[in-house]
Amino acid sequence: MNLFITGGAGYIGSHVVKALGEAGHNLLIFDNLSTGHEWAVLYGTLIQGDLADKKLLKETLSNFKPDGVIHFAASIQVEESVRKPIAYYLNNVANSLNLLDVLGELGINYFIYSSTAAVYGIPEVIPITEQTPLNPISPYGASKVMVEKALQDLSHAGGFNYIALRYFNVAGADFMGRIGQAYKETTHLITRALKTAKGEFPKLAIYGTDYPTSDGTCIRDYIHVDDLAQAHILALEYLLETGRSNVMNCGYGHGFSVKEVVNITKKVTGVDFAVEETGRRAGDPPVIVADSKKLRELTGWTPKHDELEYIIQTAWCWERSLNIS
Ligand code: UDP
């Protein structure tokens, strides 16, 4: 298949490109390289371009004639989105609308969208199903809800089919250490813990120990990036076969506390790094765990790497090979 992938040089996009490339698809990757990297694109052809450039987008798409589109390109830092909401709405919403507009003009009707558990905000009931009310608490989460809404309206208008995949806490790296997370700055727990083990930070802060959980720290559903990549392939196959638009959670359905993550990270790295228990980080829900029944039942998705130790091992292997400090 001819597949057009925006943001395919980024962390999750590059793992999906790898999986699609291994499956023999013909890929065109469109990325402005603002946070992605050329070296991360293991398959296909990379075009450096921005979704704000509708002319380039139209030219590229009318030449390539994709059977489907997977749209990763977005700004993804929650805290930054609070400081720069308009930048987030422009990049995540306006640019997605540009893309959808061009796809509509060219009659390209199969679309997989990168969404997030941040659309749920602070949910009252765990595990989170796709019916859980959408109450984003950051401009980042709100930008994803807005695009989901546009997709829903577009599919109601007829002829357009999409699946929005709502990612939980994505972590880990390619098992051969070829690609992984390489952001200049990261706020994510596993990456920060590994960088602390590596000596890049003097200590790791644990944000809050007074949450209503067994050890007082927040619980998250960590999913290996290669399992998430597989979910994209299966969702696309499902969409092409059935033409049924849908929204699906992507997580394992169980979680680990911050303290559990810290302990496993210490075990995997063999480094007893310093930890400091600090106050809560604003906006952190106590527990975020997916109900991923829909993804499993409709697409046949069966995770292969549902083991936190493996997730951290692959991330550690990758992290040690990185010279970005
Ligand atoms: N966290 C932490 N120390 C850090 C980074 C994160 O204690 O240096 C906590 C954070 O408060 C949250 C959990 O780890 O409860 C997961 O945070 P992350 O930023 O990885 O993902 P989020 O769930 O916020 O998207």
Instruction: Please report the atom of ligand 1 found closest to the CA of residue 206.
Output: 7
For residue 324, the model assigns a pLDDT of 46
How many whole angstroms from 47 Cα to the centroid of ligand 1? 33
Could you tell me which residues come within 8 angstroms of residue 283 by beta carbon, excluding any fewer than 6 positions away? Answer: 78, 137, 138
Cα separation, 314 vs 279, in Å, equals 30
Cβ(281) – ligand 1 distance below 6 Å: yes
SS3 for 146-201 is: HHHHHHHHHHHHCCCEEEEEEECEEECCCCCCCCCCCCCCCCCHHHHHHHHHCCCC
Cα gap 111→69, rounded to integer Å: 5
For the stretch 58-93, pLDDT in tens is 999 999 999 999 999 999 999 999 999 999 999 999
- Alpha carbons 324 and 318: distance in angstroms, whole number: 12
Nearest CA to ligand 1 atom 7: 206
* pLDDT given at position 183: 85
The CA 221 to ligand 1 mean position distance, Å, reads 11
- Per-residue pLDDT of 273-313, as tens digits, reads 999 999 999 889 999 999 999 999 999 999 999 999 999 99
Ligand 1 pocket mutation, candidates 79, 168, 186, 220, criterion most atoms within 8 A of CB: 220
188 lines ligand 1 (CB under 6 A): yes
- Region 234-254: mean pLDDT is 98
Tokens encoding 305 = 């790497």
Which residue's alpha carbon is nearest to atom 15 within ligand 1? 218
- Name the active-site residue from 110, 120, 140, 167: 140
Distance (angstroms) between ligand 1 centre and the Cα of 60 equals 38
Banded pLDDT at 325 (limits 50, 70, 90): very low
Delineate the domains of the chain, giving CATH numbers in brackets: 2-171+222-250 (3.40.50.720), 189-220+253-291+305-321 (3.90.25.10)
* Residue 177 clears pLDDT 60, i.e. is over it: yes
| pLDDT-derived band at 323, boundaries 50, 70, 90 | low
- Nearest Cα to 182, choosing from 305, 284, 33? 33
CA distance 173 to 313: 9
CB 251 within 8 A of CB 290: yes
CA angle (38, 18, 60) in 5-degree steps: 60
Nearest residue (by CA) to ligand 1, atom 20, is: 188
Report field, pTM of the whole predicted structure over 0.75: yes
> Which pLDDT score, from 0 to 100, does residue 143 have?
98
